Amino acid sequence: MLPIKDENPSYRRPWVNYILITINILVFFHELSLGRYLQVFIYKYGVIPVEIIHGRRLFTLFTSMFLHGGWMHIIGNMLYLWIFGDNVEDSLGHFKYLIFYILAGIFAALAQVFVNPYSKIPLIGASGAISGVLGAYFVLYPRARVLTLLPDPFTLGLFYRLIPVPAFIVLGFWFIIQFFYGLLSLPFAGRTGGVAFFAHVGGFVFGLIAIKFFRPRKYYHYWYWRRF
């Protein structure tokens, strides 16, 4: 289930979302230019859980959310941010959206640190912050239609088709997958690299809860009744 775009127009330019995507891409290209020094860069600016629990290198809770581990990593993250971030920014406004995004990223990283507190493997990526955006979207626009690429059951998955699916199904399914794979990863916690599933879970839960304190109540109710 891969979302391609949503049918949910924004009413103001998502300048902060554009800037966040641009920064992520620029940092990624900087990573590509580092060659053999890339690992040093990742260890310097990525979140290392054992360092965080000892109160060291706390700045990496911020810097890590702009680093990525490869082309698929950044493409997937930026796709989700592009699809869902503009509407959340539209609801919150530019400044509150930026604060929300940063706090979601920090909370997501801390959630993964809590699960693997003694890991020495760096955590990187914008996916924790973006998970917060997804949680917010789930609350704000549950019935917005998302064009989603799904395997065609009549061809046994050989071909795919674009189908509009309500956002609460797309994002709910995404969250369940993250939580399920997170549980499966627990026996190997801190011993291998891979996807920080509990950063995704933590970011999403943060988005579900925090959006209730960030959203402008009058704007939300106007959108809700006009839409449904």
pLDDT for 228: 38
Question: What is the overall mean pLDDT for the chain?
Answer: 89
Mean pLDDT for the stretch of residues 199-227: 75
Q: In what order do the strands lie in the sheet with 145-151?
A: 2-6, 145-151, 160-166
> Which of 31-40, 53-62, 73-82, 143-152 is predicted least confidently?
143-152
pLDDT-based confidence at residue 152 (cuts at 50, 70, 90): confident
pLDDT over 70 at 179, yes or no: yes
pLDDT for 16: 97
CB 202 within 8 A of CB 182: no
- The CATH number assigned to the domain holding 111 equals 1.20.1540.10
**Distances in whole angstroms, Cα of residue 66 to Cα of each of 56, 169, 190, 219:** 19, 28, 22, 30
pLDDT per position as a tens digit, 23-51: 999 999 999 999 999 999 999 999 999 99
Range of the domain at 131: 2-227
pLDDT over 50 at 73, yes or no: yes
Gap between the Cα atoms of 100 and 77, Å rounded: 17
pLDDT for 225: 38
pLDDT for 160: 82
pLDDT for 63: 97
pLDDT for 153: 72
Gap between the Cα atoms of 162 and 189, Å rounded: 36
pLDDT over 80 at 187, yes or no: no
Q: What total number of domains does the chain contain?
A: 1
CB 41 within 8 A of CB 35: no
Which residues, 6 or more positions from 163, have their beta carbon under 8 angstroms from its beta carbon?
147, 148, 150
pLDDT-based confidence at residue 226 (cuts at 50, 70, 90): very low
CB 187 within 8 A of CB 165: no
pTM for the whole structure: 0.89
pLDDT-based confidence at residue 191 (cuts at 50, 70, 90): low
pLDDT for 194: 67
Provide the residue type at 37 as one letter: Y
pLDDT for 221: 43
pLDDT-based confidence at residue 188 (cuts at 50, 70, 90): low
